[in-house]
Amino acid sequence: MHQRSHPTRGIGEGTLSNYYTWLADAHSKLKQTKEAIDAAAAASLAGGQVTLNDATPSTGSTL
């Protein structure tokens, strides 16, 4: 929705990337690994760096 309603379509401003990062974090906390990875990949493609602290129990992971 954000992409369609804004002229810049979320590119370069970080908003869309933030949404996907939050989604990835939520899936990670719910132990939904596949969905967390998909959302993290989308966040990365949207232009941001993704850090999932709960992705691995021992160290955390940056995608």
Which residues sit opposite 55 in a β-bridge?
A: none
Better-predicted residue by pLDDT, 23 or 3 = 23
pLDDT tens, 3-13?
A: 566 665 555 56
| pTM for the model | 0.59
59 pLDDT band, cuts 50/70/90, is very low
Pairwise CA distance, residues 25 & 37, whole Å:
10
For the chain, the structural domain boundaries read 2-62
SS3 assignment, position 52: strand
